[in-house]
Structure 1
Amino acid sequence: MSVGSALIPLINIEAYLVGIGALSAGGVVGLAIAAGVGQSLGKIVWYEVARRGVDSAWAQRKLSSPKVRPVYDRWVARMEGRPWFGGAVMFAAAFVGVPPLLVMAAVGGALRMPLVVFVPTIVVGRTLRFWLILVGVHVAIG
Structure 2
Amino acid sequence: MFLALLSMFGLSIASALLPFLPIEAFIIGGAAANPGTAASIALGVAAGAGATIGKVVWYEVARRGISSSWAQKKLSAPKVKAGYERWTARMEGRPVYAGAVMFVAASVGLPPLLVMSFVAGLLKMPMWVFLPTVLVGRSIRFSLLFLGADFAFH
TM-score by length of 2: 0.90
Alignment partner, residue 75 of structure 1: 87
Q: Tell me which of 87, 92, 105 is aligned to 2:99.
A: 87
Alignment partner, residue 2 of structure 1: 12
**Count of paired positions:** 142
Alignment partner, residue 135 of structure 1: 147
Alignment partner, residue 110 of structure 2: 98
Could you list the structure 1 runs, at least 4 aligned residues long, displaced by more than 4 angstroms after superposition.
none
Whether 1:25 aligns to 2:35 is yes
Structure 2: which amino acid aligns with 1:63? Answer: L
- Deviation of residue 55 (structure 1)? 0.5
Q: In structure 1, list runs of 5 or more residues that go unmatched.
A: none
Alignment partner, residue 8 of structure 2: none
Alignment of structure 1 residues 118-129 onto 2, 5 Å: 118-129=130-141
State the distance in 1 between where 2:74 and 2:82 align. 12
- Deviation of residue 61 (structure 1)? 0.5
Alignment of structure 1 residues 98-117 onto 2, 5 Å: 98-117=110-129
Q: Which secondary structure state, in structure 1, belongs to the residue aligned with residue 70 of structure 2?
A: helix
Alignment of structure 1 residues 48-67 onto 2, 5 Å: 48-67=60-79
- Deviation of residue 14 (structure 1)? 1.2
Q: In structure 2, list runs of 5 or more residues that go unmatched.
A: 1-10
TM-score by length of 1: 0.98
- Deviation of residue 24 (structure 1)? 1.1
- Deviation of residue 13 (structure 1)? 0.5
Instruction: Kindly report the root-mean-square deviation, in angstroms, between the aligned alpha carbons of the 2 structures.
Output: 0.7
- Deviation of residue 139 (structure 1)? 1.5
Alignment partner, residue 36 of structure 1: 48
